[in-house]
Amino acid sequence: MPSYEPSGKVADDKASLRRRLIAARKQISDSTWNEAGRLIRDHVLEMAEVATAGTVAAYYSVGTEPDTHGLIFALWKRGSYVILPVLLPDGDLDWASYEGPDSLAPGPRGLLQPVEPVRGAGTVARADVVLVPALAVDVFGHRLGRGGGSYDRALARVGAQVPTIALLYDSELLPSVPVTAHDQLVRAVARPGHGITRLPVS
């Protein structure tokens, strides 16, 4: 396992890695983006834990993130109760139900958010599966996000037996990423060309 470094150095290392990863995502073609979203959708839907999940906490992708729109719609159509995050002013996440594409409206930071009543930040703790955005994950399960800390706070509420799955492009599962003590782990990643990779989270 990696050792924790002083927070100042980690912050610099994270910022540098984020810049590289974001720049690489901007080079992805539309066709590659579309295909990645389709393959990730199929990999996630084939997971036994997802097939039997009553509630799935997901997120509505934006920009160059691997597309989740088709996955969310498919989960909803087959009867899962899908909840999506609502960003709060303090950076924490509340949650509300997805009721089809027309149930979303523009939110802060370019996000689309559900218009249904929010159900409280603790709602994510009752999900059977949690799908998580990430720029990269390492082989130990450490996740590199955008830097706001919203998902670290949300994941801290999720039980140890709940599958937490980051959705990545093929090159974004790394040997290591910079970590601090408050960073939350994920238990698997879904990638278009590699399917589901379970991670040895302790």
The per-residue pLDDT for 110 is: 84
pLDDT band at 156 (very low <50, low <70, confident <90, very high): very high
Contacts of 160 (CB under 8 A, 6+ apart): none
Q: Rounded to two decimals, what is the model's pTM?
A: 0.93
What confidence tens digit (pLDDT) does each residue in 53-74 have? 999 999 999 999 999 999 999 9
The per-residue pLDDT for 135 is: 98
Q: Is the pLDDT of residue 168 over 50?
A: yes
The per-residue pLDDT for 7 is: 61
Q: Whole-number mean pLDDT of the chain?
A: 93
Q: Count CB atoms within 10 A of the CB of residue 197.
A: 16
Q: Is the pLDDT of residue 182 over 90?
A: no
The full set of domains in the chain, from first to last, is 7-198 (3.40.50.10420)
